[in-house]
Structure 1
Amino acid sequence: RLRFYATEPSILTLNPRRSQTGGGSRQPTTAAMLRRASQLLRTIPAATVFPRRLPQPHRHPLPAPPAYLSPAPRQPSYFYATESAAAPAARPPKVPRPLRTVGSLLRLNDIRDNPGATQQKTRKGRGIGSGKGKTAGRGHKGQKARGTARFGFEGGQTPLRRRLPRRGFKNRFSLTFQPCGLGKIAKLINAGKIDSSELITMKTLKDTSAIGKQIKDGIRLMGRGAEEIKWPIHLEVSRATARAKAAVEAAGGTVRLVYYNKLGFRALLKPEWFAKKGRLIPKAARPPPKQRDKVDSIGRLPAPTKPLPFTSEELEFTAKREAAKVIAA
């Protein structure tokens, strides 16, 4: 578009619209502006316009433009070639790929699953284009649109845990004892970790790693390696097999069965816990009626270091207990 501003008084005329309203301002009309514009364009000498691209060789070259109008030198393209433009380099010939041998038929990058062997998991809530976006097929609101089914729910039918019959039972009064063989104790005595002249308690067995760290209801003395016990030792444990007790007594030692409850075991194995909490070590609890016939005495707190000799009543009670075991067997 040509934007023309009339500045000469010769082309200014009165605008009839403005004159009717009483303004009387002199404004150029559109026809006058166009006539003056065409007159000025005819009088302006035509300027020489040079193309930006280089001329093609089959056309007559135009006269060289002035230096200040010459475009910046640039590399000629293949589409507008000049006399100085070089021909494009020829492409190198294609080298045929070598044929694959039998040894190269199977590679790690060629291993694929059979078609249909795998199936991608449906990712819900990933846009409407997936078919499972937004509500993911659940619809709006309602019980079936919220939350998930509880664990084990099979749609209303009888669940598997009720279809199968019950097998066995769980005894609430069962006790779990950590086993410890005489052979293990003999190795620790030979290694110098246990002093056979002192009383061997359950704390001694735990501190010397004769048993694991988890002691639930006590320690059971087993007869494995009983032939290695050749000197008298004195032990205090929760339970003991007949073979283990006979082997220790044959070597001149004693085995005392003692009772500790949960708090008593903590005071026996970790007495520093009570000092850290600022508490006193509790007294040993008496055994319940169901365990009264299976132990010799109440456990002592803190952990004793000297063996306690059996009284006549304890020996008599122990003899009756052993006789009852023989009759029951």
Structure 2
Amino acid sequence: MLRELGLSRDEEAVYTALLTRPVASVAELVRRTVLTESEVIRVLDDLALRGLVAVDAAAATAWDGPEGERSPAGYRLAPPSVALAPFLVEQRNALQRAETAFSMVTEQYRSAVAHPAGGVVEVVVGVEQVAHRFHQLQRGAQQELLTFLVGEPRAVRRADADVSESFALERGVAFRAVAAQDYLDGDGVLGDVHAGLAAGLELRLADTLPLKMLVSDRERAMVPLDMADSDGEPSAIVVHRSGLLGALVHLFEREWEKARPLRVAAGGVRVEDESPDDPTEGELAVLALLLAGVSDRRAAAQLGVSVRTVERRTRRLMDLAGADSRLQLGWHAARAGWL
């Protein structure tokens, strides 16, 4: 604990022993620590020089050192609130210096990586480099993440992206995502969607999206350079704060407003106090996908059921709502608070 304030392991042992008995002799401290007499004396001398302990004047004439050497019998612990305060201030100052150095290095790097574009854009090439930069942006976000989800991942595995997403959500980062409909066709995607929504992810669906994208704190964005069907090495650009970044954020907000909210109940969670006239969890899962514009066949594939099951659940929902069409079903679902 005290090593966080700059004390060594031996210094912490002696200091902790003095905390329980503020005045003690060298012999007593040897018995209460695993240190030898010479080690205790050395530590006490160091602590005295730093103002953490002082010689106890009442015992200064005693002899308890090696033969021929005069050693004070007692050492008194200085009040921690006074003695340790300078160490705490120094740690705070060191942290501020580290933050300043971090900001300077970051700005210097941003200025150096992309001379042709005046520091606005940096180019990242290769699977490892693209994945590393992606995780830096996602895990470094402090306030907000915005993303477009399109097609199959190339440089960043979906499982790795989910870990970074969970890390951001756990830290309270606001996370909004717009997914293209074909994104839901991936294996295991629906389970990831369930987990993300339960953790606080806001997700909407769009028929199509113009590109993949990740925006971190509206300070930088990452966009692939290579085409989705390209066989070449993955590459991407990282856009720093600029008019170009502002345009990407505007594009996200425009697609977000047009996209359809997707709310899916978490798998395995039962709805409490559910009456026979309420939709079941499975029916609500179908309803959420249908209202997002997903076809019966695609909904069946995502939920792992047959098309006939999707149609049956839809029919029951329409019966519960007294609706003659799916449009009326959507209107009733909104009024009834089913989603």
TM range (shorter): under 0.3
Q: What is the TM-score with the length of structure 1 in the denominator?
A: 0.22
Larger Rg: 1
Higher helix share: 2
